[in-house]
Amino acid sequence: MAERYYVVREDLLPEGMLKTEQAKELLRRGDAATVHEAAEKVGLSRSAFYKYKDGVYLLEQAARERIATLSLDLEHRSGVLSKVLGALAVNEGNVLTISQSIPLQGMANVVVTIDTSTLNGTLTELLEKLKALDGVKRTTVVGRS
């Protein structure tokens, strides 16, 4: 199932999500040196911070994000990686880095970091297109910045 994103009014969010964004802001501004310190300052457990940190963003912050790191599990067959890179190019995803593991049991993991600022469509739409390619078994976003 594809990841889905929502815009939710602040007063409807659980306290842990709000405090996670507050802690992230402390870290961005340099008002806290460590996750432990930031979480402590806002009254949040570190486990809650790590649970929400990659999924909670202020709308203004999310709009500035331009880099996404994707993890894909590919069948070890000739041309599969080429199809993935072709799909990224057709959708204007500019590849910044690419790393592939050694194939084991006919599968290889590929991690691709792309610049999404010129992407045709949304990142969710791109993931769906990549998943539809023959030989692509799994696609996930593992990071955004």
pLDDT digits (tens, 9 = 90+) for 78-101: 999 999 999 999 999 889 999 999
Place of tokens 């507050």: 22
Strands 107-115 and 67-75: antiparallel
pLDDT at 73: 97
Which of 91, 22, 95, 3 is CA-nearest to residue 61?
22
Which of 112, 119, 81, 117 is CA-nearest to residue 97?
112
User: Residue 30, exposed/middle/buried by CB under 10 A (0-12, 13-18, 19+)?
Assistant: exposed
Please give the average per-residue pLDDT across 29-45, as a whole number. 94
pTM: 0.57
